[in-house]
């Protein structure tokens, strides 16, 4: 029972580079979310999805794009990475209120 | 606008003591109030949750107290243990049609000294 799996776990990017973070869940959850965690800032919602093929903006969506082509996968893209996007990114999924989080991706943009 | 305010930022409690973390919210449409526990290098994990129709919920050593009129809720950890040392996040959500997005507090780092 894997739950929510995030890849990669660590990544260092140069400013201006692009990358995609992958989130996969095996619980058949309808809803998926991307959060970023920064020291002293808590967890802030970037984008979320209420079902396959649908996405919506959260609190801090600028500089990110997402796609939910398959129910079990939720991708977070950075088209042109900036140092301000250095953070730990968490994916979560839920059936209703109870979220299950992945173990995170630590991203450093230099 | 911070919709969920959490305090304190950090807390040191002796083993066997009571840890208390407080949260306050502004949005009266919130209808679900969970607490998450996060260990270093791990994702947050649901610890306990409450809905506004009850004033208290207890699960083992963990208790949520909820004051709807004051728009406040708190986490009490009884008989705190070193293994409870972690970061705790309160959160709140409003949902319709079966889904919700969580708004988190900024977190409290708890250290339980042996």
Spell out which residues of chain A touch residue B104, defining contact as CB-CB under 8 Å.
Answer: 35, 42-44
- The residue that leads in pLDDT, B99 or A17, is A17
Using the beta-carbon criterion (under 8 Å), do B32 and A97 form an inter-chain contact? yes
Q: Is residue A102 within 8 Å of A4, Cβ to Cβ?
A: yes
Q: Which residue of A has its CA nearest to B31?
A: A97
Q: Which residue of A has its CA nearest to B36?
A: A99
Cα separation, A107 vs A12, whole angstroms: 6
**What digits encode the pLDDT tens for the residues B37-70?**
999 999 999 999 999 889 999 999 999 999 999 9
Tokens of B63: 């208790």
Using the beta-carbon criterion (under 8 Å), do A90 and B101 form an inter-chain contact? no
Find, among A102, A32, A105, A58, the residue nearest to B44 by Cα.
Answer: A102
CB-CB neighbours of A89 under 10 Å: 22
Q: Scan for tokens 């919709």, then name that residue.
A: B3
Query: Angle A79-A45-B24 (CA atoms, 0-180°, nearest 5)?
Result: 155
Query: Angle A60-A72-B47 (CA atoms, 0-180°, nearest 5)?
Result: 65
Q: Which residue of A has its CA nearest to B8?
A: A40
Q: Is residue B82 within 8 Å of B89, Cβ to Cβ?
A: no
Cα separation, B18 vs B26, whole angstroms: 27
**pLDDT at residue number A1:** 63
The arithmetic mean of pLDDT across residues A44-60, rounded, is: 94
Best residue in B25, B99, B108 to probe A by mutation, most A CBs within 10 Å?
B99
Q: Is residue A54 within 8 Å of A37, Cβ to Cβ?
A: no
Spell out which residues of chain A touch residue B92, defining contact as CB-CB under 8 Å.
Answer: none
**pLDDT at residue number B96:** 58
């Amino acid at each position: 029972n894997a739950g929510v799996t995030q890849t990669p776990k660590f990544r260092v990017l140069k400013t201006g580079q692009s990358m995609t973070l992958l989130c996969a869940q095996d619980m058949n959850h309808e809803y998926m979310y991307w959060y970023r965690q920064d020291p002293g800032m808590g967890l802030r919602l970037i984008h979320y999805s209420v079902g396959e093929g649908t996405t919506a903006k959260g609190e801090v969506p600028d500089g990110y794009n997402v796609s939910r082509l398959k129910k079990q996968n939720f991708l977070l893209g950075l088209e042109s990475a900036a140092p301000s996007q250095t953070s730990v990114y968490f994916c979560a999924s839920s059936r209703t209120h109870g979220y299950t989080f992945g173990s995170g991706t630590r991203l450093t943009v230099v | 606008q911070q919709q969920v305010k959490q305090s304190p930022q950090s807390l040191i409690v002796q083993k066997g003591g009571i840890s208390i973390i407080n949260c306050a919210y502004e949005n009266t449409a919130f209808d679900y109030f969970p607490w998450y526990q996060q260990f270093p290098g791990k994702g947050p994990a649901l610890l306990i949750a409450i809905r506004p129709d009850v004033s208290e919920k207890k699960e083992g050593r963990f208790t949520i107290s909820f004051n709807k009129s004051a728009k406040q809720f708190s986490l009490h950890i009884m008989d705190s243990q070193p293994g409870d040392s972690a970061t705790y996040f309160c959160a709140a959500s409003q949902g319709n049609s079966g889904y919700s997005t969580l708004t988190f507090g900024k977190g409290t780092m708890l250290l339980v000294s042996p």
